[in-house]
Amino acid sequence: YVLQMKFIDYLHGVYPKPHIDLHAGELAPSLVPPEGLCCHIRLAVEMGHSERIGHGVDVMYEDRPYDLLKEMAAKHVMVEINLTSNDVILGVSGKDHPFPIYRKFHVPVALSTDDEGVSRINMTHEYVRAASTYALSYADLKQMVRTGLEHNFLPGASLWREPDAFRRTAAACAPDTAGAAKPSAACAGFLKSSEKAQQQWELERRFREFEAGF
Protein backbone atom coordinates (compact mmCIF):
# COMPACT_ATOMS: atom_id res chain seq x y z
CA TYR A 1 0.00 0.00 0.00
CA VAL A 2 2.84 2.38 0.79
CA LEU A 3 4.37 1.71 -2.63
CA GLN A 4 1.02 2.39 -4.30
CA MET A 5 0.74 5.73 -2.49
CA LYS A 6 4.28 6.58 -3.58
CA PHE A 7 3.21 6.00 -7.18
CA ILE A 8 0.28 8.37 -6.73
CA ASP A 9 2.46 10.94 -4.95
CA TYR A 10 4.87 10.94 -7.87
CA LEU A 11 2.12 11.16 -10.49
CA HIS A 12 0.47 13.99 -8.56
CA GLY A 13 3.73 15.92 -8.77
CA VAL A 14 3.83 15.42 -12.54
CA TYR A 15 0.09 15.94 -13.14
CA PRO A 16 -1.16 18.12 -10.25
CA LYS A 17 -4.55 19.06 -11.73
CA PRO A 18 -6.52 15.77 -11.80
CA HIS A 19 -8.73 15.14 -8.77
CA ILE A 20 -7.95 12.17 -6.56
CA ASP A 21 -10.50 9.98 -4.77
CA LEU A 22 -9.20 6.83 -3.05
CA HIS A 23 -10.71 3.88 -1.26
CA ALA A 24 -9.02 3.54 2.12
CA GLY A 25 -9.80 1.89 5.42
CA GLU A 26 -12.39 -0.59 4.16
CA LEU A 27 -11.09 -2.95 6.82
CA ALA A 28 -12.02 -4.36 10.22
CA PRO A 29 -10.01 -6.13 12.94
CA SER A 30 -11.50 -9.50 11.92
CA LEU A 31 -9.93 -9.25 8.46
CA VAL A 32 -6.31 -8.19 9.02
CA PRO A 33 -3.70 -8.20 11.80
CA PRO A 34 -3.43 -5.03 13.90
CA GLU A 35 -0.56 -3.61 11.85
CA GLY A 36 -2.82 -3.76 8.77
CA LEU A 37 -5.07 -1.11 10.33
CA CYS A 38 -2.34 1.39 11.16
CA CYS A 39 -2.32 3.94 8.43
CA HIS A 40 -4.14 3.41 5.12
CA ILE A 41 -6.39 6.46 5.50
CA ARG A 42 -3.51 8.68 6.62
CA LEU A 43 -1.36 7.54 3.71
CA ALA A 44 -4.19 8.17 1.26
CA VAL A 45 -4.62 11.71 2.62
CA GLU A 46 -1.00 12.71 3.17
CA MET A 47 0.88 10.76 0.48
CA GLY A 48 -1.92 9.99 -1.97
CA HIS A 49 -3.30 13.57 -1.90
CA SER A 50 -6.83 12.18 -1.82
CA GLU A 51 -9.59 14.78 -1.71
CA ARG A 52 -12.18 12.13 -0.88
CA ILE A 53 -11.96 8.84 0.99
CA GLY A 54 -14.16 5.89 0.15
CA HIS A 55 -15.29 4.00 3.29
CA GLY A 56 -12.75 5.06 5.95
CA VAL A 57 -14.19 2.46 8.31
CA ASP A 58 -11.07 1.67 10.34
CA VAL A 59 -10.16 5.27 11.18
CA MET A 60 -10.21 4.72 14.94
CA TYR A 61 -7.68 1.89 14.60
CA GLU A 62 -5.18 4.15 12.81
CA ASP A 63 -2.15 5.57 14.56
CA ARG A 64 -3.13 8.83 16.30
CA PRO A 65 -6.73 8.71 15.03
CA TYR A 66 -7.80 12.00 16.61
CA ASP A 67 -4.97 13.88 14.94
CA LEU A 68 -5.99 12.29 11.65
CA LEU A 69 -9.62 13.33 12.10
CA LYS A 70 -8.57 16.91 12.82
CA GLU A 71 -6.31 16.91 9.77
CA MET A 72 -9.10 15.61 7.53
CA ALA A 73 -11.46 18.28 8.84
CA ALA A 74 -8.88 21.03 8.30
CA LYS A 75 -8.17 19.86 4.75
CA HIS A 76 -11.89 19.29 4.00
CA VAL A 77 -11.27 15.69 2.95
CA MET A 78 -14.71 14.18 2.46
CA VAL A 79 -15.57 10.61 3.48
CA GLU A 80 -18.01 8.58 1.42
CA ILE A 81 -20.11 6.69 3.98
CA ASN A 82 -21.41 3.27 2.89
CA LEU A 83 -23.55 2.02 5.77
CA THR A 84 -25.14 -1.05 4.17
CA SER A 85 -21.99 -2.15 2.39
CA ASN A 86 -19.91 -1.82 5.55
CA ASP A 87 -22.46 -3.85 7.49
CA VAL A 88 -22.76 -6.65 4.92
CA ILE A 89 -19.08 -6.94 3.96
CA LEU A 90 -17.26 -5.91 7.15
CA GLY A 91 -19.88 -6.53 9.83
CA VAL A 92 -19.50 -2.93 11.04
CA SER A 93 -22.71 -1.03 11.82
CA GLY A 94 -24.54 1.10 14.38
CA LYS A 95 -22.40 2.42 17.21
CA ASP A 96 -19.38 0.54 15.87
CA HIS A 97 -19.39 2.55 12.65
CA PRO A 98 -17.23 5.72 12.62
CA PHE A 99 -19.93 7.81 10.90
CA PRO A 100 -20.87 9.66 14.15
CA ILE A 101 -17.19 10.22 14.97
CA TYR A 102 -16.50 11.81 11.59
CA ARG A 103 -19.46 14.15 12.13
CA LYS A 104 -18.34 14.97 15.67
CA PHE A 105 -14.93 16.08 14.36
CA HIS A 106 -16.52 18.05 11.50
CA VAL A 107 -15.04 15.86 8.78
CA PRO A 108 -17.31 16.34 5.74
CA VAL A 109 -19.35 13.23 5.00
CA ALA A 110 -21.82 12.18 2.33
CA LEU A 111 -23.78 8.97 1.94
CA SER A 112 -23.02 6.46 -0.81
CA THR A 113 -24.37 3.04 -1.74
CA ASP A 114 -20.95 1.65 -2.70
CA ASP A 115 -22.63 -0.64 -5.26
CA GLU A 116 -26.39 -0.49 -5.80
CA GLY A 117 -26.45 -3.62 -7.94
CA VAL A 118 -24.62 -5.83 -5.47
CA SER A 119 -26.41 -4.57 -2.36
CA ARG A 120 -29.85 -4.23 -4.04
CA ILE A 121 -30.29 -0.78 -2.52
CA ASN A 122 -30.47 2.86 -3.61
CA MET A 123 -29.62 6.23 -2.09
CA THR A 124 -33.06 6.57 -0.50
CA HIS A 125 -32.40 3.35 1.38
CA GLU A 126 -29.13 4.74 2.74
CA TYR A 127 -30.71 8.01 3.84
CA VAL A 128 -33.48 6.14 5.64
CA ARG A 129 -30.95 3.87 7.29
CA ALA A 130 -28.77 6.79 8.40
CA ALA A 131 -31.71 8.80 9.72
CA SER A 132 -33.22 5.89 11.66
CA THR A 133 -29.93 4.54 13.03
CA TYR A 134 -28.36 7.83 14.10
CA ALA A 135 -31.45 9.99 14.78
CA LEU A 136 -30.45 12.54 12.15
CA SER A 137 -32.50 15.69 11.69
CA TYR A 138 -33.74 17.08 8.40
CA ALA A 139 -30.99 19.71 8.64
CA ASP A 140 -28.41 16.92 9.03
CA LEU A 141 -29.68 15.24 5.86
CA LYS A 142 -29.58 18.51 3.92
CA GLN A 143 -26.02 19.07 5.09
CA MET A 144 -24.93 15.72 3.67
CA VAL A 145 -26.68 16.28 0.34
CA ARG A 146 -24.98 19.66 0.01
CA THR A 147 -21.67 18.11 1.03
CA GLY A 148 -21.95 15.53 -1.73
CA LEU A 149 -22.32 18.26 -4.34
CA GLU A 150 -19.64 20.46 -2.77
CA HIS A 151 -17.10 17.66 -3.08
CA ASN A 152 -17.98 16.31 -6.50
CA PHE A 153 -15.55 17.00 -9.30
CA LEU A 154 -17.78 19.08 -11.55
CA PRO A 155 -15.87 22.00 -13.12
CA GLY A 156 -16.24 25.53 -11.83
CA ALA A 157 -16.35 27.42 -8.57
CA SER A 158 -18.63 26.47 -5.70
CA LEU A 159 -21.86 28.36 -5.03
CA TRP A 160 -20.80 28.59 -1.37
CA ARG A 161 -18.33 31.12 -0.07
CA GLU A 162 -16.74 28.91 2.61
CA PRO A 163 -16.19 25.18 2.09
CA ASP A 164 -18.65 22.95 3.92
CA ALA A 165 -20.35 25.88 5.68
CA PHE A 166 -23.37 26.35 3.34
CA ARG A 167 -24.41 29.62 4.96
CA ARG A 168 -23.24 32.33 2.54
CA THR A 169 -23.27 32.12 -1.23
CA ALA A 170 -20.57 33.49 -3.52
CA ALA A 171 -20.39 37.28 -3.72
CA ALA A 172 -22.13 37.44 -7.10
CA CYS A 173 -25.16 35.65 -5.67
CA ALA A 174 -25.12 37.16 -2.18
CA PRO A 175 -28.15 39.47 -2.78
CA ASP A 176 -30.19 36.54 -4.14
CA THR A 177 -32.10 33.81 -2.38
CA ALA A 178 -30.32 30.56 -3.19
CA GLY A 179 -32.40 28.54 -5.60
CA ALA A 180 -34.60 31.44 -6.70
CA ALA A 181 -36.32 31.00 -10.06
CA LYS A 182 -34.86 34.22 -11.46
CA PRO A 183 -31.38 35.03 -10.15
CA SER A 184 -29.97 38.50 -10.63
CA ALA A 185 -27.87 39.25 -13.71
CA ALA A 186 -24.61 39.01 -11.75
CA CYS A 187 -25.61 35.74 -10.16
CA ALA A 188 -26.86 34.30 -13.44
CA GLY A 189 -23.51 35.15 -15.01
CA PHE A 190 -21.68 33.40 -12.20
CA LEU A 191 -23.87 30.32 -12.48
CA LYS A 192 -23.29 30.19 -16.22
CA SER A 193 -19.55 30.06 -15.58
CA SER A 194 -19.68 27.09 -13.22
CA GLU A 195 -21.30 23.71 -13.78
CA LYS A 196 -20.89 22.91 -10.10
CA ALA A 197 -22.63 26.10 -8.98
CA GLN A 198 -25.47 25.43 -11.43
CA GLN A 199 -26.13 22.04 -9.84
CA GLN A 200 -25.89 23.50 -6.33
CA TRP A 201 -28.38 26.23 -7.27
CA GLU A 202 -30.73 23.58 -8.68
CA LEU A 203 -30.46 21.62 -5.43
CA GLU A 204 -31.46 24.70 -3.43
CA ARG A 205 -34.40 25.22 -5.80
CA ARG A 206 -35.54 21.66 -5.14
CA PHE A 207 -35.19 22.13 -1.40
CA ARG A 208 -37.34 25.27 -1.59
CA GLU A 209 -39.97 23.51 -3.69
CA PHE A 210 -40.11 20.52 -1.34
CA GLU A 211 -40.23 22.60 1.83
CA ALA A 212 -42.98 24.83 0.45
CA GLY A 213 -45.35 21.89 0.77
CA PHE A 214 -45.10 21.83 4.56
Distances (CA, A) of 104 to 21, 85, 146, 188: 22, 22, 18, 36
Q: Under a CB-based contact definition with an 8 Å cutoff, are residues 51 and 20 in contact?
A: yes
pLDDT reading at 73 higher than 90: yes
What confidence score (pLDDT) does residue 66 get? Answer: 98
What confidence score (pLDDT) does residue 116 get? Answer: 86
Give me the amino acid identity at 22. Answer: L
What confidence score (pLDDT) does residue 100 get? Answer: 98
Length in residues, the chain: 214
What confidence score (pLDDT) does residue 183 get? Answer: 97
Q: What is the mean pLDDT of the chain?
A: 97
Coil, helix or strand for 150?
Answer: helix
Instruction: Quote the pTM value.
Output: 0.94
Respond yes or no: is residue 26 known to be catalytic: yes
The Cα 87–Cα 135 span in angstroms is: 18
Give 75-111 pLDDT, tens digit per residue: 999 999 999 999 999 999 999 999 999 999 999 999 9
List the catalytic residue out of 26, 62, 80, 126. 26
The Cα 98–Cα 81 span in angstroms is: 9
For the chain, the farthest-separated pair of C-alpha atoms sits apart, in whole angstroms, at 59
The Cα 10–Cα 135 span in angstroms is: 43
pLDDT reading at 117 higher than 90: no
What confidence score (pLDDT) does residue 119 get? Answer: 84
The Cα 166–Cα 11 span in angstroms is: 33
pLDDT reading at 4 higher than 90: yes
